[in-house]
Amino acid sequence: MTETQRTRVRRNAARGHYDIEQIRAVLDSNQICHVAFIAAGEPRIIPTLYMRRDDYLYLHGNREAALLQHLAAGGFVCVSVMTLDGVVVARSGFHCSMNYRSAIVFGHGEKIPPEDHEAVLEAFVATLVPGHETAVRRATPQELAATAVVRIPINEASAKIRSGPPIDDEDDIDANVWAGVIPFAPHVLAPEAAPDLADTVALPDYIRNYGPVR
């Protein structure tokens, strides 16, 4: 992907990535993004669930939401995604950092074809809880009418990734200070049944074996 003035990584430029496969991998490592846009002349930023399919990011929500209306009208946004992989503990406070995978996407919103509406919403369920889309009932016409689905093309984007140990100054290497990385990993706890769930409803394997996308 060609870098632009908006997507070029300037600080620690060697950590920047413009290859579409790398950008896709970062986007697929998470499910929550932050979307920045201008509404009524003021900056806004909204955290929301997203889904990547091919080279589009899909968002959904209430049709009355300002972000969804902005995107449905072709409004411009910046999308940010970040997955934290660890805390980097250096021998000086200046060099303490984090290991992460991040990506930004700039683009204009697009409405999706009406005939794809229900299938995309089903795909959202499959992305959030794989397997659950086959267990739940179909969305009602009222639910479909209340939910907007938009997409943002991934054609202006970049990734920035840091990995590895701390990078300390040579003069600090012999300091009597612990240095290294505290890795982060997703941790899924045992499922908690809804208080009104009937005792006869068994825990499905796709819930028992649930793990977040990484």
Please give the CATH number for the structural domain made up of 13-166+200-208. Answer: 2.30.110.10
pLDDT at 212: 58
Locate the DSSP E strands across the chain: 16-17, 32-39, 42-49, 51-53, 56-62, 76-89, 97-108, 110-111, 147-153, 157-162, 180-183
Please give the Cα distance from 117 to 57 (Å, whole number). 14
**In the chain, which residues have pLDDT < 70?**
212-214
For the entire predicted model, the pTM comes to 0.90
pLDDT digits (tens, 9 = 90+) for 49-88: 999 999 999 999 999 999 999 999 999 999 999 999 999 9
- Where in the chain are the domains? 13-166+200-208
pLDDT at 87: 98
pLDDT at 184: 93
